[in-house]
Structure 1
Amino acid sequence: MSDLLSEVIEAHGGLGRWQNLTTVTATIVSDGELFSTKGLPQDLQPRRMTVSLHEEHASVRPFGAPDQRTDFAPGRIAIERSDGTVVAERLDPRQAFAGHTLETPWDPLDRAYFNGYALWTYLTTPFFMTMKGMVVEEKEAWHESPTEPWRRLRVSFPDDIASHCPVQDFYFGADLLLRRHDYHVDIAGGFATAQYLYDIAEADGIKFPTKRRAYLRAPDGRPRHDHLMVSIDLSEVHYF
């Protein structure tokens, strides 16, 4: 583990605490330009997210109907009723996005897959970086302003973890807490994103941002504030 990663993990609650936990639940409210572009405008109804911490599995409810939820893993996405009845299912879901551009419409299973891998990544950052197969390197700092350098970790994801793209950058402030997350959304034409993180909170010994704002990223690395692609607000977060 690199020195910076060790310091970042400690600042967010420590590996010892993390290893004693298995699950996180959170209420999420999401919105943004991406969903309307995909033909699935997002309402502002609060939803309850459940994420496994040490394997890539996630679920959100309600989804599409009051008694429905999603069931996400890298090799399968499903929409189920609360009694476990499968409403819709797709195996090897990543393949369904072959040839997609930003404007390609999504169906509900596409949306469920995006939600699953994205929220798993967000709710396990930065601790997922210690998982088997992750390659983590410190890269040059990003200067958000002339007097505000943010240290950068570049993470290469193994093939068995679903995420936005294979290589992503994470930036940390002077307090070693997460400030920004850069990636390309490969399942939507690979558009470049700069996601900013705000309002750090603590629950059950773990620190995390409660607000995420993902903007289109310009070639110079700066966010395009006229294109808010995804916003996520978190509340009622519990790690156990």
Structure 2
Amino acid sequence: MSALVDDVLRAHGGLERWRSFRTIQATLAQGGALWGLKGKAGVLDQTSVTVATDRQWASHAPFGVIAARSEFTGRRIALLDPSGAVIDASDHPRASFAGHTLETEWNDIQLAFFAGCAMWTYLNTPFVLAWDGVVAEDAGAWEENGETWRKIGVHYPDSLEVFSKAQAIYVGPDGLVRRLDYDVEIAGNTPGAHYVDNYADVSGIRIPTRRRIFPRLPDGTSLSEPLVVSIELSDITLR
């Protein structure tokens, strides 16, 4: 890993401390235009999310009124009832997004895949930079919000299921993540600028509790509307 990545991980609490935990759990409140656009308004507005920190695994519980919980394990997604029985599942969920645009509506399994994949990536950032096969490169300086940020280009390996293989992470002078960029491959490569703030110290790890995602223009600047997705986290625990 580069010195820049080392500094970023240290600013968020350090890789050694992060690896002493196995899961991160939080109460999740979501909003924004995306969910209605996909025909899934209200399903995951208020729920809890749990992700693993040592493997690809994520769960939303409840999954609206559709299921007691979802289970994302990278290549597989499932919706489970209160007894753990499978309501619906797919071993090849990503393939179902072929030909999708931003306006294409999702079925329940597709929503579960996107939500699990997204939250696993978000909550493991920036420590996912230390994951085997992840390539991180210093992409230079970026001026925004009256600060000079460092941009880190990130490429994820095929071994990790993420909705965008090529992403970028911007960090402020304090080493904390300010923004993520990605083109959502499973939604017609829709470009997004994903801002994070309101950091909390949870068991020695710095975690942003607020996320806002907006459209991103070709020059890298973002639009102030529409608000594509909003995420608020509370009651965060690391175990």
Q: TM-score, normalised by structure 2?
A: 0.96
| Counterpart residue type for residue 159 of structure 1 | D
Q: Tell me the CA shift for residue 225 of structure 1.
A: 1.3
Q: Tell me the CA shift for residue 205 of structure 1.
A: 1.0
Residue 108 (1) aligns with residue 108 (2): yes
Residue 48 (1) aligns with residue 87 (2): no
Task: After TM superposition, list the pairs within 5 Å mapping 1:53-132 onto structure 2.
Answer: 53-65=53-65, 68-132=68-132
Q: SS of 1:226's equivalent?
A: coil
Residue 39 (1) aligns with residue 39 (2): yes
Identity of aligned residues (%): 41
Q: What is the match of residue 180 of structure 2?
A: 181
Q: Distance in 1 between matches of 2:179 and 2:8?
A: 13
Which of 223-232 and 111-120 deviates more? 223-232
Sort the Cα spacing of 1:71 and 1:21 in 2 relative to 1 into closer, same or farther, 3 A. Answer: same
Q: Distance in 1 between matches of 2:24 and 2:67?
A: 21
Q: Tell me the CA shift for residue 45 of structure 1.
A: 4.5
Sort the Cα spacing of 1:44 and 1:119 in 2 relative to 1 into closer, same or farther, 3 A. Answer: closer
Q: Distance in 1 between matches of 2:87 and 2:238?
A: 29
| Counterpart residue type for residue 209 of structure 1 | P
Q: Tell me the CA shift for residue 103 of structure 1.
A: 1.0
* 4+ aligned runs moved over 4 Å, structure 1: none
Sort the Cα spacing of 1:45 and 1:33 in 2 relative to 1 into closer, same or farther, 3 A. Answer: closer
Q: SS of 2:104's equivalent?
A: coil
Q: Unmatched 5+ residue regions in structure 1?
A: none
Q: Distance in 2 between matches of 1:124 and 1:67?
A: 25
Q: Unmatched 5+ residue regions in structure 2?
A: none
| Counterpart residue type for residue 158 of structure 2 | D
Q: Distance in 2 between matches of 1:144 and 1:10?
A: 23
Structure number with higher strand proportion:
1
Q: What is the match of residue 215 of structure 1?
A: 214
| Counterpart residue type for residue 211 of structure 1 | R
Sort the Cα spacing of 1:184 and 1:45 in 2 relative to 1 into closer, same or farther, 3 A. Answer: closer
Q: Distance in 2 between matches of 1:46 and 1:7?
A: 34
Q: What is the match of residue 228 of structure 1?
A: 227
Q: What is the match of residue 204 of structure 2?
A: 205
Q: SS of 1:164's equivalent?
A: coil
RMSD: 1.3
Sort the Cα spacing of 1:127 and 1:176 in 2 relative to 1 into closer, same or farther, 3 A. Answer: same
Q: Distance in 1 between matches of 2:219 and 2:226?
A: 16
Q: SS of 1:237's equivalent?
A: strand
Q: SS of 1:5's equivalent?
A: helix
Q: Distance in 2 between matches of 1:166 and 1:44?
A: 25
